[in-house]
Structure 1
C-alpha cells in the first residue's frame, strides 16, 4: 500500500481542494492519504475561518485518512519555513511515498531544476536579496527578482527561463519551497504536482463556476453570503454548525481587543523581541497606533503598509505579537531542526492501520493526547488554540481547552 501526502490549510475546504485531493490520489496511485494542515492561524497571518477540529472534520469527510497539525511556529511563516516544517513532518511519519501539490506550472519540468539550483542558496544570491531589500523591495519581490537573476546568470541562455514569473505565482513559489525542502532533507518522497484550476488567489467569485478561491469564499462568508455553490455539502454543513454555535467565521479584526491590549502594555524595547519585529518596526507600529482615532486592525495595517512591508508580512507580525512569539524561539538554527513531534488531529476508520504503522515507523513521537506529552512547540500550539477560541462569541471551557479535553476527530 502506498500513501500520498498533501499540505493544506483548508480555510475552508472547497471544491478546488476536492479536485486537488482526487487528482493527488489518481496520479500517485496511492491507497491512503495524509494531510499536513495548519492549526488556528495560517501562513498569510490570519486566523482560520473555523477551528482546526472543524477543518479536520471537513478533510476526513473528503476522504483524507489522517490529518496532522503543522505547528504554529511553522504555520505562521514565509513560504520557506512553512514548507520546511510541513515537509519535515511528512518525512518524519515514515509512511509517505509521495507529496502532491497544486501549481500554476502544472508540471515539474521547470520547477525541479530551479528548485535544485535554489536549494544551494549561494552567497551571491543572499547578497543580491539583501541589496534589493536595502533599495526598498519587500522580501518576496526581492527573493523572486534575485533568484531569477541568479538563475539566468547560471543558465547563460539568450532566452532564459522566466524564473521571476514562476516565482511570483503563489502556488509555484510554495511548490518550489516544498521541492527545496525535500532536497535539503535528502527525502525519498516523490514530488508530484497537478495544475491549479479555477479562480486565482485574488480573483472574485464568478457565476457559473463551482470553484472559487478560499479568499473569495471567506470574503463571502464575512458578507453573510452562502458559499454552497463553491463547497461540498459536508463543508457547508460544518460551517453552518460552527456559525450557529458562535465559533466563526473569524477574521483578524475579531482579535482587535487582545491585540490592542498587548500593544498598549508593551514598550518598543519589549516589542523588539517579537518574531519579525525588525528594522525599527516596533517604533513604526507604536507611532501608527497613536495616530488612529479608532483602533481597528484594518486601520492599523493601512497605517503600516508600504512597498517594503507587505500586508501578509504585517499580518504575520501582528499574529506573532498576539501570540507572544519571540525572535529567539524562531531563529533559523532552531526551526532548521524541524518539528519535535507529530500531532494527530484526526483520522478515518480507514486510517487506523496507517496510524498504527506510523507509530511503528515514525522518527518523531506520535501525539494523540497533548496532556501526555510536553514540547515547547506543542505549548505554543495549545496557546494558539486557546487564543483563537477566545474570539468566539461566548467561548466555553470546552472551546478554550479542547486540545486537552477532546480526542482526535474520527469519521
Structure 2
C-alpha cells in the first residue's frame, strides 16, 4: 500500500492546492493521501484566517483521505522547524511511503543537491555564512548569499522562492532522519506565492485571496469564489471581518503588560535583543501588526518578530514535535488508515478530546482563537471539547 504525505496550511484551501493533491496522488501512485496541516495558527506567525475544521473539510472534500493537526510550536516555527516537525510527524506514522510538496522550480534533482549541501554544511559554506551574519544580515539572507557564492550555478534562483525554500527544508529533514520516505515535487502553477493579485482565469495564491478578503472586509467576490473548490464552506465567514493578527491585538497587549519588564527569552524565538526592543517600545503599541513593524530590524525579519510575539501570547516556550496524532478528519472510504495508524504509528491516535494526551497549551491556543473569532463575528463559542472530528 502506497501512502503519500502532504504538508500544508491551506489558509484557505484553493484550486492550486486541489491541483497539488491530484497531481501528487498521480505521480506517487498513492492509494491514500495523508495531510499534516497547521491548526489555527500558521507559519507566518499569525492566526489562520479560517479555522482548522473549515480548512480540513475543504481538503477532505478535495481528495485528502486523512488530516492530522500539527502542534502549535511546529506550525508557527521557522521554515526549518516547520519542515522538521512536519516531516517527523509523517515519518512517525510508520505508513507514509512518499512525500509530495510544491515548488517553483519543479526539479527534485536540483533541490536535492542544494539540500545535501545545507544538511552537511561544508566548512567553506559555514565560513561564508558566518561572514554574512557578521555583516548584519538576517539568517535567511546570509544563507542565501553564502549559498550563491558557494554554489553559484546551482543556487542562482532556487533560494529566491518560498516554496523552493520549504522544499529544501523537507529534504534536509528527510536526510537527517535517515527516512525511507521518497520525496516528489510538483511544480507550482498560477500566481507566485507572494503575488496578491486575484484575476479571472488564473490560480491565485493563498496570500492573494487573504489580501483581497481583508480589503473587501470579508465579502467573497466572484473572483474569490472562483478560486475556492467548495465556496459553500465559507458561508459563515461571508461579510464578516476576517480573522487576522490584529484581531489578537488586545490579548497580546494584555499579556505583555502582565509580563512587564520580565526577560522574554524564555519564549520560543525571542532573543535578548528582541526582548529589549519589546520593552523599550511597548508604550508605542497600537496593534499586533503595527508593533511587529516597530520591532523589526535588518537582522530581525518581520516574520520572525511576528512568530516571537505569537509565542509570547500563546505561552510557547520551546519547540515540541508532535506527541500525539490529533485527527481532524477522515474520509469514510479511507477508515482503514486509522487502523493502520494505530497499528504502525509511533504516537497515540487522538480522535476526541475525551481521550487523554492533548497538551494543555494546545487547547489554550485553540480556545483563545475561538474566543477571538466568536466575539469578532458575533457567533457562539465552539468549545474544543465538544467539537467532533470530521467524517466525510
Where on the TM-score scale, by shorter chain, does this alignment land: which range? Answer: over 0.9
Q: Distance in 2 between matches of 1:308 and 1:409?
A: 42
Query: 1:134 matched to which residue of 2?
Result: 134
1:299 aligns with 2:290: yes
1:111 aligns with 2:108: no
- After TM superposition, the structure 1 = structure 2 runs for residues 193-342 of structure 1, keeping only pairs within 5 Å, are 193-224=185-216, 225=219, 226=221, 227-232=224-229, 234=230, 236-243=231-238, 249-292=242-285, 295-326=286-317, 329-330=318-319, 335=320, 338-342=321-325
Shift of 1:100: 0.5
1:32 aligns with 2:24: no
TM-score, reference length from structure 2? 0.92
Query: Quick check: 1:106–1:194 contact (8 Å CA) kept in 2?
Result: yes
Query: Quick check: 1:284–1:304 contact (8 Å CA) kept in 2?
Result: yes
Between 1 and 2, higher relative CO (CA 8 Å, sep ≥ 6) is seen in 1
Deviations 1:98-145 (A, max 9, x none): 111010110212011221222123465455434422321112111222
1:390 to 359, 363, 371: 371
- Secondary structure class of the residue paired with 1:392: helix
Deviations 1:13-34 (A, max 9, x none): 0111111111101111112110
TM-score, reference length from structure 1? 0.88
Which structure 1 residue ranges, 5 or more long, are not aligned?
Answer: 153-159
Tell me the number of residue pairs that the alignment of Structure 1 and Structure 2 aligns. 385
1:369 aligns with 2:367: no
Shift of 1:210: 3.5
Shift of 1:397: 7.4
Deviations 1:154-185 (A, max 9, x none): xxxxxx42415312211111001101111111
1:7 aligns with 2:7: yes
Query: 2:180 matched to which residue of 1?
Result: 188
Query: Quick check: 1:145–1:164 contact (8 Å CA) kept in 2?
Result: no
Query: 1:156 matched to which residue of 2?
Result: none
Query: Quick check: 1:15–1:210 contact (8 Å CA) kept in 2?
Result: no
Query: Quick check: 2:110–2:154 contact (8 Å CA) kept in 1?
Result: no
- After TM superposition, the structure 1 = structure 2 runs for residues 35-184 of structure 1, keeping only pairs within 5 Å, are 35-122=35-122, 125-126=125-126, 128-150=128-150, 152=151, 160-184=152-176
Which structure 2 residue ranges, 5 or more long, are not aligned?
Answer: none
Shift of 1:346: 0.5
Shift of 1:298: 2.6
* Root mean square deviation of aligned Cα: 2.0
Q: Distance in 1 between matches of 2:260 and 2:62?
A: 47
Query: 1:380 matched to which residue of 2?
Result: 361
Query: Quick check: 1:136–1:307 contact (8 Å CA) kept in 2?
Result: yes
Q: Distance in 2 between matches of 1:147 and 1:75?
A: 26
Query: Quick check: 1:243–1:249 contact (8 Å CA) kept in 2?
Result: no
Deviations 1:43-75 (A, max 9, x none): 111111111111111111111100001111111
Q: Distance in 2 between matches of 1:267 and 1:207?
A: 46
Q: Distance in 2 between matches of 1:128 and 1:312?
A: 24
Q: Distance in 2 between matches of 1:58 and 1:78?
A: 26
Shift of 1:279: 3.8
Q: Distance in 2 between matches of 1:72 and 1:134?
A: 32
Which segment is superposed worse, 135-144 or 99-108? 135-144
Shift of 1:384: 1.3
- Secondary structure class of the residue paired with 2:211: helix
Residues 127/276 of structure 1: CA separation in 2 closer, same or farther (3 Å cut): farther
Q: Distance in 2 between matches of 1:179 and 1:373?
A: 33
